[in-house]
Structure 1
């Protein structure tokens, strides 16, 4: 029923993993919604109490963008039953006094008005809403949503992409709260176990000791091969920061081996080479080209983000005409799928 962002994915994009006991859980009353600014203010509903959905997203997050059509469908399908408040969190800022991202979020919402027919607010630079809701409940990614029942208690916490399915179950009376509560407890315990396994590794990579982090990761993978297979992107990312030559050799191995049919993973690797990993001395743009080309082939050249990466790789290699040709093909695909974030 739920899709959670695993610790491995957070580490791959440079975020730390913290374990803490959840202070906000199912069956409890939620904290108040206190945003720094409303981009679209909530309208107080009339009539009997409604089901509330309080969700969290980031304007830069591809999964948040991809969830917008789901939210729009829920808002329209259950217009007389629910109220929705979406809060922008984890936006990019230069510090606790920087509120420039308010304008970024406002522009984001204006551009996607048809996909956001509900109240939208912005968290403050200190992350008050993220702390009170996401971190307090043990969540650590976006998009995440909370469903609050008519009795004012939290009945569901999970990935926003699941909202349509869960709301249908709730409205039809088929939602099994006891089973879901048990599943969530088991999932949280599994993630706590994962945190303990990664604790030493996380300390090393957070302190910039990337070579030691790779060695620790290899130790974990040797002891638990299945877990090691889940960490290949993380290993590639760390090698880029510590041993470029080894990273490019490893990248070729992944491209020709276990990731050869995984378009999303290949695209992420290409992005790491193209613009996501600062400080590369000799970026292997030919590898980036091959990664994005394979990813584009797997998606039948019908994904705007992947085509943009392919165009950028050609540009980096000096193939300007080819880059323009591919980018021009990507534009109408992106226009036809507004949930795809602009680059």
Structure 2
């Protein structure tokens, strides 16, 4: 089951990065997993990207947002559909967590418009959330 393996890979990555405080080994390990599994399990790459971007236990100094973004965009290249909103929204999420709200809005808008009508709601929610955050930033809050 891909989901079980994905959780194990991410758990191992987090253990190396957070518990063992060995970012070199952690990113080397997860890069190996990505190279071995990414093409056949592109969704795994979205989970890795999101983990790096949002896991609050990862020290800022070891949070490689460029790596997370590269992982998210690589996932999209492997995706069956280049307009799959799950992948587009992951790229948006990483941009958002990296403080690039304009790019987050751009990618989340793509995700929203790519989603089927019955699936649009969570993408709309995130898009509104990003736009609201941008208004706060633009207002200097």
Alignment TM class, shorter chain as reference: 0.5 to 0.7
Q: Secondary structure at the match of 2:57?
A: coil
Distance in 2 (alpha carbons) for counterparts of 1:237 and 1:337: 35
**Can you list the C-alpha shifts for 1:14-54, whole angstroms capped at 9, x where unaligned?**
xxxxxxxxxxxxxxxxxxxxxxxxxxxxxxxxxxxxxxxxx
Please say if residues 236 and 251 of structure 1, whose CA atoms lie closer than 8 Å, have aligned partners that are also in contact: yes
**Number of the residue aligned with 2:67:** 287
**Can you list the C-alpha shifts for 1:57-107, whole angstroms capped at 9, x where unaligned?**
xxxxxxxxxxxxxxxxxxxxxxxxxxxxxxxxxxxxxxxxxxxxxxxxxxx
Q: Secondary structure at the match of 1:326?
A: helix
Distance 1:312 1:11, change over 3 A: closer
Q: Offset at 1:280?
A: 1.3
Of 48, 52, 56, the residue aligned with 1:278 is 56
More strand by share: 1
Equivalenced residues, count: 118
- 1:135-214 aligned at under 5 Å gives the runs none
Distance 1:335 1:11, change over 3 A: closer
**Number of the residue aligned with 1:268:** 47
**Number of the residue aligned with 1:232:** 9
Of 253, 269, 281, the residue aligned with 2:32 is 253
Q: Offset at 1:278?
A: 2.4
Aligned CA RMSD, in angstroms, stands at: 3.0
Runs of 4+ in 1 over 4 A off after TM superposition: 339-343
More helix by share: 2
**Number of the residue aligned with 2:139:** none
**Can you list the C-alpha shifts for 1:121-141, whole angstroms capped at 9, x where unaligned?**
xxxxxxxxxxxxxxxxxxxxx
Distance in 1 (alpha carbons) for counterparts of 2:58 and 2:32: 20
Q: Offset at 1:303?
A: 2.0
**Number of the residue aligned with 1:166:** none
TM value normalised by structure 1:
0.30
Structure exhibiting the larger radius of gyration computed from Cα positions? 1
TM value normalised by structure 2:
0.66
Q: Offset at 1:341?
A: 5.3
Distance 1:301 1:281, change over 3 A: same
- 1:97-108 aligned at under 5 Å gives the runs none
Distance in 2 (alpha carbons) for counterparts of 1:238 and 1:324: 32
Distance 1:9 1:241, change over 3 A: farther
Distance in 1 (alpha carbons) for counterparts of 2:10 and 2:121: 22
Q: Secondary structure at the match of 1:258?
A: helix
The answer for unaligned runs of 5 or more in structure 1 is: 13-230
**Can you list the C-alpha shifts for 1:132-156, whole angstroms capped at 9, x where unaligned?**
xxxxxxxxxxxxxxxxxxxxxxxxx
Please say if residues 244 and 280 of structure 1, whose CA atoms lie closer than 8 Å, have aligned partners that are also in contact: no
1:305 and 2:86 matched:
yes
